[in-house]
Amino acid sequence: MIIKTVVEIKKHKQAYVLMAPYFIIFITFTVLPVTMSLLLSFTNFNMLEPPTWAGWSNYTRMFVQDEVFMLALKNTLLFAAITGPVSYMACFLFAWLINEFPPKLRAVLTLILYVPSISGNTYLIWQLLFASDSYGFANAFLINWGFILEPIQWLQDPRYMLGILIIVQLWLSLGTSFLAFIAGLQNVDRSLYEAGAIDGVRNRWQELWFITLPAMRPQLMFGAVIQISIAFAVAEVSMQLLGFPSVDYAAHTVVTHLVDYGTIRFELGYASAIATVLFSIMLLTNLIIQTLLKKVGD
């Protein structure tokens, strides 16, 4: 058995040589850090002294003592529960809708919908839209129409911050999965619809559930993986737009908490524990969603 494997490995020597450069880098910057993070989460480590064993204390501290973490967790879960499903469905809905347009118009609409997710540094525009003085678009609009008299401090008022974060994140959300869905839809075999029509599929909703969705299951799975990791890892928008730390931690998320302990306080053991918890939540959500998606079209 072992000899057979060794012979096989030797036979495919070229395959390993081709893969080596990528996988050395992939292991160094992805696999190794995840493993290290897992191990470090059981230690106290400040980067100056060697790590000391801490057992489960980082985890108990996180769930029992750290109120800010609980707030961050609550924000993240709330945020993911809203933006995850909404952005996932939006990706599919828009891909599905623009699929019926003629190719030229479809390309233009794809561009308009996709551009926000590649535009990168767009915080500036949102900062102007939600500026706290009366020159901000949102305030100017509301004052002009008589809804409010005084400008609202959109980006500093804890009541609005999470909502703004959700809006901006949704605006950014038609990305990779959106493209995968557009491509998936274009590849659905047209004759299936014809066959469906003969079998009694009467409207577009039945067509969607019985034909389109099952045919696109691989893309739907891929899209779910991507959207889940985006929904749970929100941080950039929060830090750039709402400040870091945000007022009253109103827009604090698990990742901003991680950044706080990892790169500012240098409590790397604790930061690693936060990362491990985040990773577990993502993995678990993925497993649940993948199981649910297998039921599509049944």
Partner 1 sequence: MKTLKLNAGKRLNRSWGMDIVLFILIGGVASFMALPLVFTISNAFKPIDEIFQFPPKLLVRNPTFKNFTDLINIFSDSWVPFSRYVFNTFFITITGTVGHVILASAAAYPLAKIKFPGRNVLFSIVVLSLMFTSYVTQVPNYMTISWLGLINTHWAIILPAFGMTLGLYLMKQFMEQIPDALLEAAKIDGASEYRIFWQIIMPIVKPAWLTLIIFSLQNLWTSGSVKFIYSEQLKTVDYVFGQVGAGGLVRTGPMSAVALLMLTVPVTVFIVTQSNIIQTMSTSGLKE
298 vs 285: CA distance, rounded Å: 22
Minimum CB–partner distance for residue 20 and partner 1 (Å): 8
Among residues 79, 232, 242, 250, which is the contact residue for partner 1, using CB under 8 A? 232
Site residues for partner 1, window 254-293 (CB under 8 A)?
Answer: 255, 258-259, 262-263, 268, 271-272, 275, 278-279, 282-283, 286, 290
- Number of other residues whose CB lies within 10 A of the CB of residue 43: 19
Minimum CB–partner distance for residue 248 and partner 1 (Å): 23
Site residues for partner 1, window 149-188 (CB under 8 A)?
Answer: 171, 174, 176, 179-180, 182-184, 186-187
Site residues for partner 1, window 9-28 (CB under 8 A)?
Answer: 9, 12, 14-19, 21-23, 25-26, 28
Of 274, 228, 283, the residue nearest 61 (C-alpha): 274
Q: With contacts defined by CB under 8 A, how many residues of the chain interact with partner 1?
A: 111
Q: Which is nearer to partner 1, 57 or 134 (CB)?
A: 134
Residues 6+ apart with CB under 8 A from 62: 69, 270, 273, 274, 277
What residue has token string 């699929």? 99
Minimum CB–partner distance for residue 179 and partner 1 (Å): 5
Site residues for partner 1, window 24-63 (CB under 8 A)?
Answer: 25-26, 28-34, 36-37, 40, 47
Is-cis flag, bond preceding 245, omega within 30? yes
Q: Which is nearer to partner 1, 61 or 158 (CB)?
A: 61
Site residues for partner 1, window 115-134 (CB under 8 A)?
Answer: 115-116, 118-122, 124-126, 128-129, 134
Among residues 52, 60, 65, 144, which is the contact residue for partner 1, using CB under 8 A? 144
Task: Kindly provide the b/e burial profile for residues 193-212, where b requires at least 16 CB atoms within 10 angstroms of the residue's own CB.
Answer: eeebeeeebeeeeebeebbb
3-state helix, strand, coil in the chain (%, to 5): 75, 0, 25
Q: Which is nearer to partner 1, 19 or 64 (CB)?
A: 19
Residues 6+ apart with CB under 8 A from 112: none
